[in-house]
Amino acid sequence: MTQTNPIFHRLYRVLFLALISSYSFLHYACKTNPEAAPTGVVHNNAMVVSARIEASRIGMEVLKKGGNAFDAMIATEIALAAAYPFAGNLGGGGFMVYRMADGQTGTLDYREKAPLAAHRDMYLDSLGNPDPKLSRIGATAVGVPGTIAGIFAVHEKFGSLPMEELLAPTIALCEQGVVVTEKQAARLENYRDQILEVNGDSTVFSNSCKPGDTLRYAALAQTLRRISEGGRDEFYMGETAQVLSQFMKKRGGYITMEDLAQYEAVWRDPVTFQYRDLNVISMGPPSSGGITMQQILKMMEPYDVSDMGHHSAAGIQLFTEAARRAYADRNYYLGDPDFVEIPVSEITDPDYLQERMENYNPLKDTPSETISKGEIAMYESSETTHYSIVDQFGNAISATTTLNGAYGSKLYVQELGFFLNNEMDDFSAKPGEPNMFGLIGAEANSIAPGKRMLSSMTPTIVEKDGELWLVVGTPGGSTIITAVTQTILNVYEYGLSMQQAVEAPRFHHQWLPDMIIFEPEGFPESLKDSLITRGYIINQDRTPIIGKVDAIRVLKDGRLEAGADVRGDDAASGF
């Protein structure tokens, strides 16, 4: 190969990038796609979309009686603990992004924290290898829960109805019971052995149940009643804290009264960036969601994405190459901002991102570095849950909440009526080793006392022409970021309705393992063949589904269209 003078090479590259940028700016700066007719549930004033109709309805009723989106967020978040114990929780944590009717935005971090007794090597065995069981199952896997602190922080700042009124519908639901759906019965059956192994046979989930059965949660109702009377401190310092910390001690966990007393939810600035004429508002660290989505979209922006066609080989390839590069940065640079310095402006700098795509070849894959060790576990990963809310005043909430794995650590506090998370597995137990999502972590996400584990949760709000346009988010572990990004692209670049965008099949790439993961249904063989020809490894066995997106689109006439994912029992409720 002829060697070019490096100065010329650099000059050439700068010119090339300037050309691409100005061309793309002129050509693709604004999409003028006609608005897709809605195909999802449509309401005129307000909407709540969540994993279960019971939770959506409880949120909607709060709005109907004059509450705002923040009141509805509190009611929905707690309702999910009863209606969707798979992921809804009091024993986990989450993130919320909001946009007020006047355009003000912000985020709340109610992510779990490592207990004070945690330390860097706590999940390594005597040979120095991670023992996944310790960070995934039972008491040792549990991070300090943030959900109750989260709802009280929201209430203090933005709530308009008394907390008792927001908790009361869930207390009633616990008592009157939740009817088991077919999907829920299948999930419970799937995890019953593990739940039995961790808890014995004394919990409400020990018995096999079938669709149509009713599950009642008396202990959860009792806990909520105490919280309703005693407030936030009841959970973090009161009787609930006593019961929880004693239970942890008995079961060999680390969380103490001191851990609970020290927990605080944190208001943080959102990650905000432009993609063409959209303004995207999303979650920043300790979630990787916002920054990684920003990297993916900004790397794609110079290309005519819509012209490539929805689910074309070229479009999937471009997305994959952008995602590969973004996840490589994610895994290396991102962690809890209260503990590590994150070079945010450097890794989101437009020139840097253009340079990252310099070796992108539209005819061939760019192989990721080889994984140093280990096969990655394969399983369905949609155990978090997301809900989206728009109220009758124009306020919007996008919130994702989680226990991490299905039913979290599987450890159920029978006396209090809830599951505890296994969020500690989101840390990098040992740099270079994959966690349960196959994510390879680095130093930035190593374990330390009081530190928050890096997340992929990506609650997001999108503005168009300065107005609220989309509210979107999903569960799915490491696939959350790509699922949210694809949903936005589906509406914006490919002209799908909100419901169609949510239902469209999804694919995923996360740098390592170096493969495009496809949902097994919905992509033609010819498409996959053409990607294989370009050098890509296709995996369709890793997961039956990618994400369960719950979203809302504001139509031009002001009506709201829901996107409720048919992959779950997800449902919209509004008026």
Give the footprint of ligand DON on this chain (CB under 6 A): 381-384, 402, 404, 423, 426, 455-457, 475-477, 480
Find out whether 50 is annotated in a ligand binding site.
Answer: no
**Cis peptide before 286, with omega less than 30 degrees from 0?**
yes
Contact criterion met (CB below 8 Å) for 111 and 58: no
Find out whether 89 is annotated in a ligand binding site.
Answer: no
SS3 50: strand
Find out whether 125 is annotated in a ligand binding site.
Answer: no
Contact criterion met (CB below 8 Å) for 24 and 301: yes
Residues 6+ positions from 226 with CB-CB distance below 8 Å: 234, 238, 239, 240
Please, what is the minimum distance in Å from the beta carbon of residue 251 to ligand DON? Answer: 21
Pairing of strands 571-574, 47-50: antiparallel
In angstroms, rounded to a whole number, what is the distance separating the alpha carbons of residues 257 and 471?
Answer: 37
Please, what is the minimum distance in Å from the beta carbon of residue 235 to ligand DON? Answer: 21
Find out whether 160 is annotated in a ligand binding site.
Answer: no
Contact criterion met (CB below 8 Å) for 517 and 542: yes
In angstroms, rounded to a whole number, what is the distance separating the alpha carbons of residues 57 and 78?
Answer: 12
Which two three-digit tokens encode residue 505?
């099949």
CA triplet 52, 54, 57: central angle to 5 degrees?
A: 110
Nearer to ligand DON, 446 or 455 (CB): 455
Please, what is the minimum distance in Å from the beta carbon of residue 285 to ligand DON? Answer: 12
Please, what is the minimum distance in Å from the beta carbon of residue 374 to ligand DON? Answer: 19
Q: How many CB atoms lie within 10 A of CB 266?
A: 17
Find out whether 531 is annotated in a ligand binding site.
Answer: no
Residue type, 450: G
> Any idea which residue has 């519908």 for tokens?
169
Distance of CA 72 to CAs 42, 162, 165, 392, 435, Å?
18, 12, 11, 11, 34
R_g of the chain computed on alpha carbons? 23
Nearer to ligand DON, 285 or 476 (CB): 476
CA neighbor of 150 nearest in space, from 118, 113, 178? 113
For 235-246, give the secondary structure using H, E and C: HHCCHHHHHHHH
Residue type, 241: A
Nearer to ligand DON, 441 or 563 (CB): 441
Active site residue 272: no
SS3 129: coil
Nearer to ligand DON, 473 or 574 (CB): 473
Q: How many helices and strands in the chain, by DSSP H and E?
A: 19, 21
Please, what is the minimum distance in Å from the beta carbon of residue 476 to ligand DON? Answer: 5
Phi/psi of residue 376, nearest 5 degrees: -100, 135
Find out whether 368 is annotated in a ligand binding site.
Answer: no
Find out whether 421 is annotated in a ligand binding site.
Answer: no
In angstroms, rounded to a whole number, what is the distance separating the alpha carbons of residues 147 and 96?
Answer: 11
Find out whether 426 is annotated in a ligand binding site.
Answer: yes
Nearer to ligand DON, 385 or 490 (CB): 385
How many residues are listed for the chain in this entry?
A: 575
> Any idea which residue has 């760019």 for tokens?
366
Contact criterion met (CB below 8 Å) for 167 and 224: yes
The catalytically annotated residue of 107, 147, 256, 384 is: 384
Nearer to ligand DON, 447 or 457 (CB): 457
CA within 13 Å, CB half, 471: 34
CA neighbor of 98 nearest in space, from 62, 71, 65? 71
Active site residue ranges: 384
For the annotated binding site, the residues are 111, 402-404, 426, 455-456, 477
Residues marked as binding for L-glutamate? 111, 402-404, 426, 455-456, 477
